Structure 1
């Protein structure tokens, strides 16, 4: 059983949810400082980050964790651009010896293991019905798998769903205490 004091985890992918693939060039932001210019040279898509995302994410009552192939680079290049502190990072296995069912995302078993029975949200643009089914049968705690449109990234509707789920989870935990 998860302790009432433990906050839920929000596993956060970068490409798609934070860096939308469909952003128009007119919406690209300029680097905020000279130090960011050198970071941007490696990935010009960083300009698609919405600087308001950090405050919106930290306003959610959960522990944010990078669940991206960016790994530690998310702390170096993404977090400062959107106003996030340094976050924990899910470390992926070096070699994928994936014997998972067909259609299951390679991240899914690792996220369930990392959550270690804690309630969690996973925000990604590659979540499938197989991932939802697998998590429902393999994770004993509450979970929300939120697939984000990769052409738009996280939007108001996504934040509403996340906040509503977290609010309902908090209400249920309060009622059970």
Structure 2
């Protein structure tokens, strides 16, 4: 089972409502090169790993995800989806949708992002032969217990 993971929004929350402040986290890892890294809860790394999926970066951070974010989370280097230079996707479809389905092949997958829409879900349902969960995270808060619960429930409901 693949789990495609975006960084901005799911791991680094942004755009909080007025009056909401973000916690500041620290790890044993060296001081972050990017000040927004301190918004990433390092406990998310073990929680993501515990899902039992092959984690794959699906982010514009590209290789920086492995040099900057993975160590912060205590994760090993992960595969990185390379985004093709392609034409604009069809109207309403996210630009990541087609490349992720192609990357997955026939394997089941989960995609965690803050920009997923119903158009993406419909396209994947039509063009991907296996099970897929496209889970949208509220970018203001990042991954929450409720998000992990939804992913865990979906994984538990898969046959076999």
Question: TM over 0.5, yes or no?
Answer: yes
Q: Match for 2:86 among 87, 96, 101?
A: 96
Q: CA deviation at 1:84?
A: 1.0
Secondary structure of the residue aligned to 1:64 is strand
Which residue does the alignment assign to 1:28?
A: 24
Taking the aligned partners of 2:75 and 2:99, their CA distance within structure 1 comes to 23
Retained in 2: the 8 A contact 1:13–1:67? yes
Are 2:13 and 2:141, in contact at CA under 8 Å, matched by a contact in 1? yes
CA distances 1:142-170 after superposition (whole Å, capped 9, x unpaired): 0000000000000001001111111111x
Aligned counterpart in structure 2 of residue 19 of structure 1, from 12, 15, 24: 12
- Segments of structure 1 that go 5 or more residues without pairing to the other structure are 1-7
2:129 to 116, 140, 150: 140
Partners of 1:16 and 1:69 in 2: how far apart?
12
> How far apart are residue 31 of structure 1 and its match?
5.6
For residues 61 and 164 of structure 1, the distance between their equivalents in structure 2, rounded to whole angstroms, comes to 13
CA distance in 2, matches of 1:67, 1:109: 12
Note if 1:130 corresponds to 2:127.
Answer: no
Moved over 6 A (4+): none
Cα distance between partner residues in 2 of 1:83 and 1:162: 21
Residue 62 of structure 1 deviates from its aligned partner by 1.1
Alpha-carbon distance in structure 2 between the residues aligned to 1:17 and 1:66: 12
TM-score, with length taken from structure 1: 0.84
8 Å CA contact retained: 1:61, 1:166: no
Decide whether the 8 Å contact of 1:125 with 1:148 is kept in 2: yes
Unaligned runs of 5+ in 2: none
Superposed CA RMSD: 1.3
Deviations 1:72-91 (A, max 9, x none): 11011001111111110001
How many positions carry a matched residue from both structures?
Answer: 156
Q: Deviations over 1:102-129 (max 9, x none)?
A: 1100000000000011000000000011
